[in-house]
Amino acid sequence: MSLIVQKYGGTSVGSPERIQAVADKVIAFRKAGHDLVVVVSAMSGETNRLIALAKSIQTQPDARELDVLVSTGEQVTIALLCMALKERGQDARSYTGGQVKILTDDAFTKARIQDIDDKNIRADLALGRVVVVAGFQGVDEQGNITTLGRGGSDTTGVALAAALKADECQIYTDVDGVYTTDPRVVEKARRLDRITFEEMLEMASQGSKVLQIRSVEFAGKYQVPLRVLSSFQDGPGTLITIDEDLSSMEQPVVSGIAFNRDEAKLSIRGIPDVPGMASRVLAPIGEANIEVDVIVQNMAADNTNDITFTVHRNDMAKAKALLDGLATELGARQVVADDSVVKVSVVGVGMRSHAGVASTMFKALAKENINIQLITTSEIKISVVIEEKYLELAVRSLHTAFGLDAK
Burial 55-83 (b: 16+ CB within 10 A, else e): eeeeeebeeeebbebbbbbbbbbbebbbe
Q: Which of residues 137-196 bind Mg ion (CB under 5 A)?
A: 151
Q: How far is the CB of 9 from Mg ion (least distance, A)?
A: 5
Bridge-partner residues for 161, per DSSP?
none
Binding letters toward ligand ASP, positions 55-94, x by CB under 6 A: ------------------x---------------------
Work out which of 41, 146, 267, 397 binds ligand ASP, going by CB under 6 A: 41
Helical residues (DSSP H) of 12-166, grouped into ranges: 16-31, 46-57, 63-70, 72-87, 97-100, 119-126, 153-163
- Residues whose CB falls within 8 Å of the CB of residue 128, separated by 6 or more in sequence, listed in order: 91
Look at residue 73 and give the partner it binds from ligand ASP, ligand ADP, Mg ion, none, a contact being a CB closer than 5 to 8 Å depending on partner kind.
ligand ASP
Q: How would you class 181 by CB atoms within 10 Å of its CB: exposed for 0-12, middle for 13-18, buried for 19 or more?
A: buried
Distance, C-alpha 39 to centroid of its chain: 17
Is there binding between residue 254 and ligand ADP (CB under 6 A)? no
- Cβ–Cβ < 8 Å for 342, 398: no
Q: How far is the CB of 15 from ligand ASP (least distance, A)?
A: 15
Is there binding between residue 10 and ligand ADP (CB under 6 A)? yes
Look at residue 190 and give the partner it binds from ligand ASP, Mg ion, ligand ADP, none, a contact being a CB closer than 5 to 8 Å depending on partner kind.
none
Is there binding between residue 134 and ligand ASP (CB under 6 A)? no
Strand pairing report for 113-116 and 102-104: antiparallel
Work out which of 4, 5, 6, 9 binds ligand ADP, going by CB under 6 A: 9
Residue 168: phi, psi to the nearest 5? -160, 145
Q: How far is the CB of 195 from ligand ADP (least distance, A)?
A: 9
Q: Which stretch binds ligand ASP (CB under 6 A): 12-20, 147-155, 377-385, 398-406?
A: 147-155
Q: Residues 111, 114, 118, CA angle at the centre, nearest 5°?
A: 120
Look at residue 184 and give the partner it binds from ligand ADP, ligand ASP, Mg ion, none, a contact being a CB closer than 5 to 8 Å depending on partner kind.
ligand ADP
Question: Total residues at the site for ligand ADP (CB under 6 A)?
Answer: 19
By C-alpha distance, which of 207, 216, 333, 189 is closest to 268? Answer: 333
Q: Which stretch binds ligand ADP (CB under 6 A): 60-68, 86-94, 101-109, 203-211?
A: 203-211
Is there binding between residue 47 and ligand ASP (CB under 6 A)? yes
Look at residue 150 and give the partner it binds from ligand ASP, Mg ion, ligand ADP, none, a contact being a CB closer than 5 to 8 Å depending on partner kind.
ligand ASP
- Cβ–Cβ < 8 Å for 178, 203: yes
What is the distance between the alpha carbons of residues 151 and 9, in angstroms, rounded to a whole number?
9
Helical residues (DSSP H) of 133-288, grouped into ranges: 153-163, 197-205, 213-221, 277-287
Q: Which of residues 170-189 bind ligand ADP (CB under 6 A)?
A: 173-175, 178-179, 181-184
- Residues 46, 173, 148, 255, CA torsion sign: negative
Q: Which stretch binds Mg ion (CB under 5 A): 5-13, 257-265, 379-387, 399-407?
A: 5-13
Bridge-partner residues for 342, per DSSP?
386
User: Which H helix or E strand runs over 328?
Assistant: helix 316-330
Is there binding between residue 97 and ligand ASP (CB under 6 A)? no
Q: How far is the CB of 13 from ligand ASP (least distance, A)?
A: 9
Q: Which of residues 7-46 bind Mg ion (CB under 5 A)?
A: 9
Look at residue 220 and give the partner it binds from ligand ASP, ligand ADP, Mg ion, none, a contact being a CB closer than 5 to 8 Å depending on partner kind.
none
- Residues 226, 134, 77, 128, CA torsion sign: positive
Q: How far is the CB of 316 from ligand ADP (least distance, A)?
A: 23
Is there binding between residue 135 and ligand ADP (CB under 6 A)? no
Query: What does the binding site for ligand ADP look like in residue numbers (CB under 6 A)?
Result: 9-12, 41, 151, 173-175, 178-179, 181-184, 208-210, 256
Query: What does the binding site for ligand ASP look like in residue numbers (CB under 6 A)?
Result: 9-10, 41-42, 47, 73, 135-136, 150-154
